Structure 1
Amino acid sequence: MSATPFRAGEAKLHVRARLTPRGGRDAIDGVELLSDGTAALAARVRAAPQDGEANAALRALLAKAAGVARSSVTQTAGATSRIKTFEIDGDPAALEARLRAAAGAA
């Protein structure tokens, strides 16, 4: 069980996120504990969950919050699920610090 939505890899950070599409705004709302005891970054986007629009909006939101280019963010799991996993290329410690700050969980 993981109490953090972040896992460091070699020159990348793995991020678990729970997405709310049609959330009224694009924002990272914090870190939430899921029913299985794992943690996920709670995020909402304005985009609808059709044709991959919500996933693309979340990818852009994570890139902006992490301070990296969109091309540095890759979705690795959860294309049709609310719980998604992304890899962000870069220094894991710096990326985690930026995402925690964006989530208000510094």
Structure 2
Amino acid sequence: MTDLSHLARPGATIAIRVTPNARRPGVDLVEDQIRVAVTETPEAGKATEAARAALAKAMGVAKTRLVLVRGATARDKLFRLDGP
């Protein structure tokens, strides 16, 4: 898993691309784009929540600090890091 702890600044926005139904979950940095692969299906927000948890783990923050700003039903999502 890629270490993204350098992005953990309050107020920072993080753009990611989610790949649902992946064989192996993980977070990778590909050509300055964060890609999050999750094994969950894109139904009822399951893939989004799994992506939030994976991103939070890679950043070393609590997943409750990541707020979805845009992309609830899209593959491209934008999260904001709240709190101290």
Which of the residues 52, 55, 60 maps onto 2:45?
52
Gaps in structure 1 of 5+ consecutive residues: 1-7, 33-38, 92-106
Counterpart of 1:74 in structure 2 is 67
CA shift, 1:30, in A, is: 1.5
Cα RMSD, aligned residues only: 2.0
Counterpart of 1:27 in structure 2 is 26
> What TM-score comes out, normalization by structure 1 length?
0.64
Task: Report the Cα distance in structure 2 between the residues aligned to 1:16 and 1:31, rounded to whole angstroms.
Answer: 12
CA shift, 1:90, in A, is: 5.6
Structure label with greater radius of gyration: 1
What amino acid sits opposite 1:21 in the alignment? P
Task: Report the Cα distance in structure 1 between the residues aligned to 2:10 and 2:63, rounded to whole angstroms.
Answer: 16
Task: Report the Cα distance in structure 2 between the residues aligned to 1:40 and 1:30, rounded to whole angstroms.
Answer: 6
CA shift, 1:53, in A, is: 0.1
Gaps in structure 2 of 5+ consecutive residues: 1-6
> What TM-score comes out, normalization by structure 2 length?
0.80
CA offset digits 1:35-85 (Å, max 9, x no partner)? xxxx53111001000010000000000111111111111111011111100
Higher relative contact order (CA 8 A, sep 6+): 2
What amino acid sits opposite 2:67 in the alignment? T
Contact 1:13 1:90 in 2 (8 A): no
Task: Report the Cα distance in structure 2 between the residues aligned to 1:56 and 1:20, rounded to whole angstroms.
Answer: 13
Identity of aligned residues (%): 38
Counterpart of 2:34 in structure 1 is 41
Which ranges of 4 or more aligned residues in structure 1 deviate by more than 6 Å? none
